[in-house]
A = this chain, B = another copy of it.
Amino acid sequence: MDRPAPPLPPTAYVVLGMLRLGAQSGYDIKQAVDISTRFFWSISEAQLYPTLADLEEKGLIEGRDAPRGKRKRRVYEVTPTGETALKRWLSREEALSFEVRDVAMLKLFFADAVDDDQGVALVAQMRTRSEATLEHLRPQLDSTFEETGDEDPPRFPGIALRLGIAVHESIIAALHDFEAELERRG
């Protein structure tokens, strides 16, 4: 009587996916997330380590202690069950939730309550923010991303990266227009 296993939270698939891409320890996963998926899915340590324990308990990953010197360390591998679970999730037809929480957009939306130059300042701040994001993303276009060895390097992380870059470029362009437009009136 296999009751259908309750679906895992997206965060669990991030862990599974990162291990599959070559990350070994929880620390590795955290590093990888912080330079890549964090722009559309962030994870904190307080989530990560319990998730690893949970996935191991469920048999989707297998861990073993692999200390470096006296520094404790635990490395994991994705089990066949875990591989299947990841693929099933990737293939599953479902609505794909997309949520944004952006305080800057909120302030922009309500900016009629304050002076126009405050609105201009806000737009400028948003532009700077996207420029900073681009400075994180652009250099990664070059980096080889070849954790798996080399035989069949993953291509989709690069696609996700390029999408992120395109979005922030368009944000910058639009904000640039708004700045001009608002200053014309001021």
Residue ranges of A at the interface with B (Cβ–Cβ < 8 Å): 10, 13-14, 17, 20-21, 36-37, 39-42, 83, 86-87, 89-91, 96-114, 118-119, 122, 125-126, 129, 154-157, 159-160, 162-163, 166-167, 169-171, 173-175, 178
Contacts and interface: CB of A to CB of B under 8 A. Distances in A.
A8 to B, nearest CB: 12
A160 to B, nearest CB: 4
Count copies of this chain in the complex.
2
A101 B107 CA distance: 20
Nearest to A107: B90
A80 to B, nearest CB: 13
11 contacts: A10-B106, A14-B106, A37-B106, A40-B100, A91-B118, A96-B126, A96-B129, A99-B100, A112-B154, A119-B156, A162-B174
A97 B112 CA distance: 21
A91 B104 CA distance: 12
Given A96-B126, A160-B105, A170 B175 contact: no
Given A96-B104, A96-B129, A112-B154, 6 more contacts: A17-B109, A37-B109, A39-B100, A41-B106, A97-B103, A159-B178
